[in-house]
Structure 1
Amino acid sequence: MKKTFLGLIMLLIGAQCSLAQNTPAEQEVIDLSKDKWQWMADKNADKLAALFDEKAVFVHMGGSWGTEQELNIIKSGGIWYKQADIHEVSVKIIDNTAILLNRITLIAVVGGNEVTNPFMVTEVYVKQNGPWKLGSLSFTKLLTPGDH
């Protein structure tokens, strides 16, 4: 009985330790990332233009480009980031740079065709004299069972 009780206490302590809290700065970046996914789904180029640094880079399965082209693609519907289901998120802040990782399932419309892909998305935010700005957004397609 004592072993069972002790085991239960250890399990609860371990569970509490694994539920680490984010710092306020980390939570701010996580919330900003979530807002970004919604703005992308809504094709809200104005909000995105304020978020994206003018020198930002975007890496997709089909290539890489800068802020102006990314905004034009979103405005025109060339890529419609219809829905991003976020499964995991983590963020590390190093000085004025935040590196956020999202494991998502993205439903997008590309060239008129709806596609669903699992991605690990790397977002890099930089804070210089003001709000966080997105400096890089990079999609890495994850393998799913059956992929070779």
Structure 2
Amino acid sequence: MRILSIAMFLLAISAQSFAQNASIEKEIKELSKAKWQWMADKNVDKLEALFDDRSKFVHMSGSWRKERELEIIETGSIWYKDADVHDVAVEVFGDDTAIVWNRITLTAHVRGNDVTNEFTVTEFYKKEGEDWKLLDLTFSKVRDTHEIEH
């Protein structure tokens, strides 16, 4: 009887953890999707609140911190016109850390030209209080046949 009680307790904890992870996954997917729209809309106010003060951004042409990324978006140096998201994978660590992989076709306006590239974009999020903060966003150029392993 005692073993059955312990097994039931462990099963209940596992189910609760799985449900919590699924909820965090859904929340992070929605936040990531909103981020792409805010970038397209050049909504630096929303992005400023999302990006951690120590966040880093890695692009094909270089890497920089939050202030530079916001400046680039606000001035339109890079205008993320459309991120067509083909696939999303989320991995949750505990209840305060998540990694997102987006496979996208990005149409951006760069140096006076519209360009389209295939990327897998990796995003790291950390929960601070009630809010998720983006710590890192890295673009990796890939072939259009690239798949994210789930």
TM over 0.5: yes
Secondary structure, aligned partner of 1:23: helix
Return the letter of the residue paired with 1:61.
Answer: M
Once residues 42 and 144 of structure 2 are traced to their aligned partners in structure 1, the CA distance between those partners, rounded to angstroms, is 28
Secondary structure, aligned partner of 1:125: strand
Displacement of 1:112 in angstroms is 1.1
The 5 Å alignment of 1:74-85 reads 74-85=73-84
Once residues 144 and 47 of structure 1 are traced to their aligned partners in structure 2, the CA distance between those partners, rounded to angstroms, is 30
5+ long unaligned stretches in structure 2: 1-18, 146-150
TM-score (norm 2): 0.80
Moved over 6 A (4+): none
Once residues 56 and 98 of structure 2 are traced to their aligned partners in structure 1, the CA distance between those partners, rounded to angstroms, is 15
Once residues 122 and 111 of structure 2 are traced to their aligned partners in structure 1, the CA distance between those partners, rounded to angstroms, is 24
5+ long unaligned stretches in structure 1: 1-20
Return the letter of the residue paired with 1:71.
Answer: L
Residue number in structure 2 paired with 1:41: 40
Secondary structure, aligned partner of 2:143: coil
Displacement of 1:128 in angstroms is 2.2
Q: CA RMSD in A?
A: 1.4
Once residues 35 and 100 of structure 2 are traced to their aligned partners in structure 1, the CA distance between those partners, rounded to angstroms, is 13
Secondary structure, aligned partner of 2:102: strand
Between the two proteins, what is the percent identity of the paired residues? Answer: 57
Residue number in structure 2 paired with 1:65: 64
Once residues 122 and 113 of structure 1 are traced to their aligned partners in structure 2, the CA distance between those partners, rounded to angstroms, is 25
Residue number in structure 2 paired with 1:12: none
Once residues 66 and 111 of structure 2 are traced to their aligned partners in structure 1, the CA distance between those partners, rounded to angstroms, is 20
